Amino acid sequence: MSALLEVAHLSKTFVSGGGLFRAAKSARVVTDVSFSLQRGDVFALVGESGSGKTTIGRMLLRLIEPDAGHITFDGIDVRSLPPVELRRLRRRVQIIFQDPFGSLDPRVRIGAAIAEPIRLHQLRPANQIADRVAELLTLVGLDASYANRFPHEFSGGQRQRVAIARALAVEPDLIVCDEPVSALDLSIQAQVVNLLGELRATLGVSYVFISHDMAVVRHLATHVGVLYAGRLVESGPSETIFADPRHPYTRMLLAATPSPVPGAMRSRETITGEPPSPYAEWAQCRFASRCEHRIDACLAADPPLAAVAPAPRLSACIRAAELPDFAAFDDGESRMTAAYRLRLDLLRRARLPKVSHV
Amino acid sequence: MQHRHLPDLSPDADGLAPQAAALDVKDLRVSFGAGPAIVDGVDITLQRGRILCLVGESGSGKSLTALSLMRLLPPSAQLACTRFDLLGEDIAGAGEDALNAIRGNRMAMVFQEPMTALNPVMTVGDQVTEALVVHQGLSKQAARAAALDMFRRVQIPAPETRLKAYPHQLSGGMRQRVMIAMALMCRPAILIADEPTTALDVTIQSQILRLIDQLRAELGTAVLFITHNLAVVAEIADEIAVMYAGRIVERASRADLFGDPQHPYTLALFAAMPRADERGRPLAAIEGQVPSPGAMPAGCRFAPRCPFVVAHCETTYPPLREISRDHWIACWRAPLEEHVS
């Protein structure tokens, strides 16, 4: 099966400043990033601020032009598309952002906002557009009558649903989700995560899911790419990455992830430092300054991604195979107290739809 | 001897009875105009060197509670309470001058987005030393030495250089460290931190949490830590208060809240978080929304979203009652296993 999305050696450098008396500075925000995504899969790009994950997301739609590399979407060479064809591509690849308020025009009723791409791409005859908008609103769990409302009348979670409805309006194959739940309250976050999962199951839509939240990524992703300072440092199937991470940075991210089950807590003494400046030049492992497993050899060269069992996992750590066993990030029910488990179970049962026995 | 010019806030040092709470506020109510109370009968007691976490979703009134404690409410708000004691001293009726002497000096606050709380055209060094010059009459030089010491305490690398930096030259995590340093400059008895890590990466969040934990032990500061994410405070909280629609619905030690959670809302918050064994299954989202202030339910405010609701819940608000030692809960149906079949 050929991949829905194939990204090879993608790179981007932003040049800033520069003038009569000042040399321009170049920030290498993405360096040689490759990954692929099969139809129906969820590829998560995780990393801290400045790791390049948002830039990669935008390059996939050519909202930012890459400097080098290839992007192949369903056999189409995305980088060489002329503007007309690019518009057609954007019908098939959509993006939703962290702040749904920023991506909705405050003066446009949301029904009109959702109808616009349908009209633009001539996906429905004019007399069927209103029905389609109602259908989309229902699909994302909103009342069809909300079409007449303005964005400010919605809560954060509802706005994100509107943004998702608008992305779905063009019946895309792939949605790039850029931190879609980070700005939401926990309870609302769960609703949106569930919605994304349902849409994948029912419509077969694939996601590139950009996030810094490992717990959400574990929940949704089928594949994970961990970015550090613009480079992938580990990638592979989600189960592999979470059960046995083989890059110290992946381990740091996992250790820093808050858990609702305190028994699952691990030592956080080793979580130190900040991501490096994008202006840095690299002749050593980028993560070395924060790494508890650093040895002299780490300072000799920037290690490339290499296979570390089980296939198809890659890690850019020269000590990947010899890292100590990783106590899996287990915050399952077995770690809870009996009372916690009992009441959670009561809650779960109380929420089941009531069945009437006659 | 490096802190000789600073007041010592370790317990007992100021001659107060050691048992006097750092802050003791009872039956706090905040309302706007003739509207209903947005914060409705909240008790907050902060003990020296201990961390109380206030947890709730947007609209629960947690930030408004924080602003009331700092007495930073907008003029349109009315604040009422039956007690407002700072270090054993009644400041309920304190005027603006007295409050100005307290804020930044005895009580300090850290916000979610340090960039908007810092002055962009002043170096962070000047901003950090300002409080010492204003509140404690220190010379600029002495204040600078104290700032340097505080920057080291909050683990800012290259502190001499960073003192001369402007806020935009620092990373988000560094700016939050500066905010914390600034808040702690006068060794306040109380630090109120309103979602201080929400805008930060998890790795930086973890470091800031550890820092707050260390500093409260070192300086004896009482901390009120506000967050929407229960999991974030699992490591550092001594006590946790869960707030819903302007009221506290459960309050317990960390061990009790995570080991013996009682209120359906607390349980719902736990259940909504993705866990290892939930992978691929739908998360237990809490349907519905926090009620708006104009449309508060007559009885229990969580009743419209509660799967355990019975008729009594909809008519009568459950008072906070002590279900086991120091574990308070406002629910008619607790303990659930005795009431739910």
Alpha-carbon gap, residue B241 to B150, rounded angstroms:
30
Prediction ipTM score: 0.87
- Within 8 A of A188 by CB-CB distance, chain B residues are 57, 285
Tell me: pLDDT of B8 over 50.
Answer: no
**To the nearest whole number, what is the mean pLDDT of chain A?**
90
Tell me: pLDDT of B158 over 50.
Answer: yes
| Tens-place pLDDT, residues B283-312 | 888 887 788 888 889 999 999 999 999 999
On whether any CB of chain A is under 8 Å from the CB of B17, the answer is: no
**pLDDT top residue among B286 and A291:** A291
Query: Tell me, what's the pLDDT at B45?
Result: 95
Query: Tell me, what's the pLDDT at A18?
Result: 75
- Cα four-point dihedral sign A228, A232, A234, A237: positive
| B201–A49 C-beta distance less than 8 A | yes
Select from B205, B259, B276 the Cβ nearest to the Cβ of A337. B259
On whether any CB of chain B is under 8 Å from the CB of A259, the answer is: yes
- Within 8 A of A333 by CB-CB distance, chain B residues are 275, 277
| Beta carbon pairs, A and B, within 8 Å | 158
Query: Tell me, what's the pLDDT at B19?
Result: 67
Select from A156, A188, A252 the Cβ nearest to the Cβ of B203. A252
**pLDDT top residue among B16 and A204:** A204
Query: Tell me, what's the pLDDT at B288?
Result: 79
Tell me: pLDDT of B17 over 90.
Answer: no
| B259–A193 C-beta distance less than 8 A | no
Count Cα neighbours of B50 within 13 Å in the Cβ-side half-sphere: 15
Give the distance from residue B288's alpha carbon to the nearest chain A alpha carbon, in angstroms: 9
Tell me: pLDDT of A159 over 60.
Answer: yes
Chain A residue whose CA is closest to B291: A155
| Tens-place pLDDT, residues A213-226 | 999 999 999 999 99
Interface of B with A in 199-218 (CB under 8 A): 201-207, 210
Tell me: pLDDT of A11 over 70.
Answer: yes
Q: Is the separation of the CB atoms in B322 and B241 below 8 Å?
A: no
Interface of B with A in 76-115 (CB under 8 A): none
Nearest to A44 by CA among A218, A256, A255: A218
Mean pLDDT, to the nearest integer, of A265-294? 85
Nearest to A275 by CA among A252, A244, A258: A252
Chain A residue whose CA is closest to B257: A340
Mean pLDDT, to the nearest integer, of B159-165? 92
Query: Tell me, what's the pLDDT at A182?
Result: 83
Query: Tell me, what's the pLDDT at B295?
Result: 85
Tell me: pLDDT of A80 over 70.
Answer: yes
Tell me: pLDDT of B227 over 60.
Answer: yes
| Tens-place pLDDT, residues B55-99 | 988 888 999 999 999 999 988 999 999 999 999 999 998 899 999
Query: Tell me, what's the pLDDT at B27?
Result: 96
On whether any CB of chain B is under 8 Å from the CB of A332, the answer is: yes
On whether any CB of chain A is under 8 Å from the CB of B308, the answer is: yes
Mean pLDDT, to the nearest integer, of A257-267? 73
Tell me: pLDDT of A334 over 90.
Answer: no
Query: Tell me, what's the pLDDT at B287?
Result: 80
On whether any CB of chain B is under 8 Å from the CB of A252, the answer is: yes
